[in-house]
């Protein structure tokens, strides 16, 4: 593992339950904002539709339909974008976490030669460097005995 090339992404769903839960929470927030803004826009238009001083109610009805359609299209466009960005962002945390768990398990089993290389910009890059330094020090302190 010490001489391997930097880690290449092979799959985005490393810890499927965590990542899907993360994306679902982000999606719910976006959906809530869209629903609130939709109700707000609709309420404002409906308030203006029934004013006696307005004669052209048809124009306001058309405006209401246009706003509702626009909000629906925005929501349909934002759903896949939020999903993809959420999966990618959660992968920057979950991917390194899984690799760190594997490394720690190997060190716990006595294999102090383990090293981890994360992509630059991964969320846990500093932790990986510290664990690599720790493994190096443990390897010097407890050298492997020849079998």
27 and 83 in contact (C-beta within 8 Å)? yes
Residue spans per domain, the chain: 16-141
Angle of helix 125-141 relative to helix 57-108, nearest 10 degrees, comes to 0
Mean pLDDT confidence for 130-141: 89
Give the integer Cα–Cα distance in Å for 31 and 76: 10
Q: What is the pLDDT of residues 3-32, one digit of tens each?
A: 555 556 667 777 788 778 888 888 888 888
Residues in CB range of 106: below 8 A, 6 or more apart: 114
Which run of H or of E encompasses 107? helix 57-108
9 and 95 in contact (C-beta within 8 Å)? yes
Backbone conformation region of residue 110, classed left if phi is above 0, alpha if psi is from -120 to 50, else beta: left
Q: What is the pLDDT of residues 67-126, one digit of tens each?
A: 777 777 777 888 888 888 888 777 778 878 888 888 889 988 888 888 888 777 666 778
- Cα(first)–Cα(last) distance of the chain, in Å? 21
Q: What is the pLDDT of residues 41-63, one digit of tens each?
A: 777 777 666 666 656 666 667 77
């Amino acid at each position: 593992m010490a001489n391997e090339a930097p880690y290449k992404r092979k799959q985005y769903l490393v810890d499927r339950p965590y990542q899907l839960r993360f994306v679902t929470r982000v999606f719910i927030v976006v959906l809530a904002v869209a629903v609130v803004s939709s109700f707000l826009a609709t309420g404002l238009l409906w308030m203006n539709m029934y004013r006696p001083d307005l004669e052209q109610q048809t124009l306001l009805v058309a405006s209401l339909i246009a706003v509702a359609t626009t909000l629906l299209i925005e929501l349909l466009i934002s759903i896949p974008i939020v999903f993809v960005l959420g999966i990618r962002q959660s992968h920057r945390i979950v991917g390194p976490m899984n690799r760190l768990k594997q490394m720690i398990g190997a060190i716990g089993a006595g294999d102090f030669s383990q090293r981890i290389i994360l992509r630059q910009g991964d969320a846990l890059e500093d932790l990986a460097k510290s664990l690599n330094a720790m493994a190096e020090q443990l390897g010097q302190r407890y050298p492997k005995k020849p079998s």
